[in-house]
């Protein structure tokens, strides 16, 4: 499972990747300590009350914000302060993905692709660009049997819809003309950005 947005308990130390609040003073990379779990009225979920190291006490919202456990990051790579800072700089390059797209299912799907053994981490992009109708052709291309990978078929269309929605959002935001060439170009750009993010995150957050 992805280490992005793990469930938290009071006392957990975390590192903020994104906070969905344009007026927030909490910056990416800020560490904090979870004080308590707060239930939201009317069965609308919960949020985490966090004491941030910069003095802020803004709550963390599981449905909107992004974080990782500070302890996980250090234990997996023994990161120095400089190395950890470099990791956060890499993440900051992908702030648009973190902010605008439901990226977690996409990253989880990429991990499924890698665990399948069909391709290595750097060869997975074609699996982002296909759908359930053509996935079997792609699996055959990499000498696999489609029946052996039901989890890929279960998730590929949902992932594609997320990427298509982000493509449409970018095009509308930039008043771009909707034609086959432009749509395909932006869609490929979105896929490349997600792949870059996945590769950036893998060694720290995904590798067992």
Q: Give residue-wise pLDDT tens across range 24-58.
A: 667 777 889 999 999 887 777 889 999 999 888 88
180/123 same-domain check: yes
The pLDDT of residue 186: 93
Characterise 190 by phi-psi region: left (phi > 0), alpha (psi -120 to 50), beta (else).
Answer: alpha
The pLDDT of residue 125: 92
110/199 same-domain check: yes
Q: Is residue 97 part of a domain?
A: no
- Between strands 46-52 and 13-18, the pairing is unpaired
User: For 105, which DSSP code?
Assistant: H
The residue ranking higher by pLDDT, 95 or 135, is: 135
CA–CA gap between residue 73 and residue 6 (Å, rounded):
13
What percentage of the chain carries pLDDT values higher than 70?
82
The residue segments making up the domain with residue 40 are 13-92
- Range with the lowest mean pLDDT among 18-27, 77-86, 122-131, 132-141? 77-86
Kindly indicate the confidence band of residue 198, based on its pLDDT and cuts at 50, 70 and 90.
Answer: confident
Q: Would you say residue 111 has pLDDT above 60?
A: yes
The pLDDT of residue 169: 92
The residue ranking higher by pLDDT, 16 or 50, is: 50
Q: What is the value of pTM for the model shown?
A: 0.64
Q: Is residue 6 part of a domain?
A: no
The pLDDT of residue 66: 81
Q: Is residue 49 part of a domain?
A: yes
Q: Is residue 5 part of a domain?
A: no
Last residue of a domain, one of 46, 67, 92: 92
Q: Is residue 152 part of a domain?
A: yes
Q: Would you say residue 114 has pLDDT above 60?
A: yes
* DSSP H stretches of helix in 70-204: 70-77, 81-92, 95-100, 103-116, 125-128, 135-141, 150-173, 180-201
Q: Is residue 8 part of a domain?
A: no
Q: Would you say residue 182 has pLDDT above 70?
A: yes
CB 12 within 8 A of CB 24: no
Tens of pLDDT, residue by residue over 72-95, are: 554 445 556 666 666 666 667 777
The pLDDT of residue 85: 66
- To which residue do tokens 């004080």 refer? 35
What is the number of structural domains in the chain?
2
39/108 same-domain check: no
φ, ψ for residue 56, nearest 5 deg: -75, 155
Question: For all residues of the chain together, what is the average pLDDT?
Answer: 83
The residue ranking higher by pLDDT, 29 or 135, is: 135
């Amino acid at each position: 499972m992805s280490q992005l947005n793990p469930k938290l308990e009071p006392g957990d130390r975390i590192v903020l990747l994104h906070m969905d609040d344009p007026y927030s003073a909490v910056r990416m990379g800020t560490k904090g300590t979870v004080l308590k779990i707060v239930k939201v009225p009317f069965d609308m979920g919960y949020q985490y009350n966090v004491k941030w190291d910069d003095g802020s006490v803004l709550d963390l919202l599981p449905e909107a914000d992004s974080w990782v456990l500070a302890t996980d990051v250090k234990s997996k790579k023994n990161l120095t302060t400089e190395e950890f800072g470099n990791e956060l700089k890499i993440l900051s390059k992908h702030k648009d993905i973190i902010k605008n797209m439901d990226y977690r299912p996409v990253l989880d799907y990429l991990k499924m692709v890698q665990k399948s053994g069909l391709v290595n981490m750097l060869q997975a992009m074609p699996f982002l660009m296909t759908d359930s109708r053509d996935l079997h052709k792609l699996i055959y291309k990499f000498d696999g049997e489609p029946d052996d990978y039901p989890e890929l078929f279960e998730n590929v269309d949902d992932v594609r819809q997320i990427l298509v929605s982000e493509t449409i959002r970018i095009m509308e935001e930039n008043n771009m003309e909707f034609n086959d060439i432009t749509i395909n170009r932006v869609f490929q750009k979105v896929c490349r950005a997600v792949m870059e993010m996945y590769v950036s995150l893998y060694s720290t957050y995904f590798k067992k």
